[in-house]
Amino acid sequence: MSTRKVVELFYDVVSPYSWLGFEILCRYKNIWNIDIHLRPGFLGGIMHASGNTAPAMVPKKGSYMTKDLERLSEFYQVPLRQPSDFFHVVIKKGSLSAMRFVTAVQMSHPEFLEEVSRELWLRIWSEDKDITEPESILQAAKKAGMPEDLAKKLFSTITSPEVKNKLKETTDKALAYGVFGMPSIVAHISEKPEMFFGSDRFELLAHQLGEKWLGPMPQKSRL
C-alpha cells in the first residue's frame, strides 16, 4: 500500500488566498510525500451555507485585506494585484461560470486543471480582467495550453446537469468536512480527515503530515 498521504485543496478562483494556497501546495507536491487532489468548488455556495461573510464586506477587514495582499504577494512570490473595481468584479459578478468551466476541465481533461485554474487567477487577481465573460474564460484556457476547439467544447457543457451537479457535489463535500471559506485543505492523516483553513497554516500542516516546512519558496531553501 502507498504511504503517501492524500491532501485535498478546496478552492475558488475568486479567492486570492486560494491562489496562495494553491501555489504553495503545487510547489511542495514533489517535496512532501503527498498526493494533492484539487477540488474546485463554489465559494458563494460555501459562504451562504455556512453563514459566513466575505472579509471585504466588513470595512476594517476590507481595508486590512488590501495591505495584506500586497505583503503576501511579495512573501509568497505570487503576482497578486487587487482588481480596480473589487466590489463589482469579485462580490457582485462572482465566479460561478468560471468554476463551472474549471469543473468541466476536471471532469473531462484533468491534465489541464492546474494550468487553467492558474490562468483564471492571473486574469482576475493580476491582470484586472473579467472572468465572467466567455471569451475571457476561453483566453485563460488558451494560455493554459488547451486547444481552442477543446476549450469551446468544454465551455458548451458548463450549463449541463452533469457539470452543475459535480460542482455542487464538490461544494457539498467541502461543507461536510466543516469548510466555511476558501482555501480549505483537508489532509487525510491516519485515515482521519484534518481540515486547515486559509493559506497561512502550512507550518502546522507540515507538522501534522510529518513533513518539513521550507518556507514559501522550498526549491530555493533546498539549494
* pLDDT tens by residue, 63-84: 888 899 999 999 999 999 988 8
d(CA 61, CA 45): 21
pLDDT average, residue stretch 30-58: 91
- Most distant CA pair in the chain: distance in Å? 50
Percent of the chain with pLDDT over 70: 95
Q: According to the model, what pLDDT value does residue 91 have? A: 64
183: which DSSP letter? S
Q: Which structural domains are found in the chain, ordered by start? A: 5-221 (3.40.30.10)
Q: Is this model's pTM higher than 0.85 or not? A: yes
pLDDT attached to residue 223: 54
What average pLDDT does range 152-169 have in this prediction?
98
CA dihedral of 137, 91, 79, 39, whole degrees rounded to 10:
-60
Q: pLDDT at position 55, please? A: 74
Q: Mean pLDDT: which of 42-56, 81-95, 96-110 is highest?
A: 96-110
Average pLDDT along the chain:
93
Residue 170: predicted pLDDT: 98
